[in-house]
Amino acid sequence: MNRNLIASTFPKTSHKSLAPLAKNDRNSNDPFDKEGQSIWVEKGKVRVRIPVRNILYVKAEHVYCRLFFPNDQRVLKRISLDRLTSELPSGKFLRVHRSYLVNVDYVEHFNASKILIGKTVIPIGRTWRKEAVSRLRQLIQ
């Protein structure tokens, strides 16, 4: 089959913004690159595999989850936050609010009511406060 024909089938602009994130996944020996440590996201008609280690945090929006990445990149995926939480590595991700899931590797500051990731302030809900603060304190010791 003609390689140019296949390449022309997928518009370059539809996946260009996610290319740096996907590229990080190819040549790394990090254990997060193993099967099951990445998530497929759709950008237009193209599906891109992105390592979960690149996710800063997730915000639930009804039946969708908005995944936030470095450099202000974000992707909307049709999946519930409960289902996404169960599929992501529990050692790296922490549910801190009814609408938020955070990657503990990117937490810069926290107190009993909020978490700071980059310039984003994420609230800690009452239901998750005890577990979230306890787990975050364990990580800094």
CATH code for position 33: 2.40.50.1020
Name the pLDDT band for 54 (thresholds 50, 70, 90): very high
pTM here is 0.73
In the chain, the DSSP E strands lie at 38-43, 46-51, 57-61, 64-69, 73-77, 93-97, 100-103, 109-110, 114-117, 120-123
Task: List pLDDT tens digits, range 55-112.
Answer: 999 999 999 999 999 989 999 999 999 999 988 888 899 999 999 999 999 999 999 9
Question: What is the reported pLDDT for 28?
Answer: 41
Domains held by the chain: number:
1
> Domain range for residue 80?
3-140
Task: List pLDDT tens digits, range 10-51.
Answer: 445 445 555 555 554 444 433 233 456 888 888 788 888 889
Q: Round to whole Å and give the CA distance between 111 and 2.
A: 57
Question: What is the reported pLDDT for 91?
Answer: 87
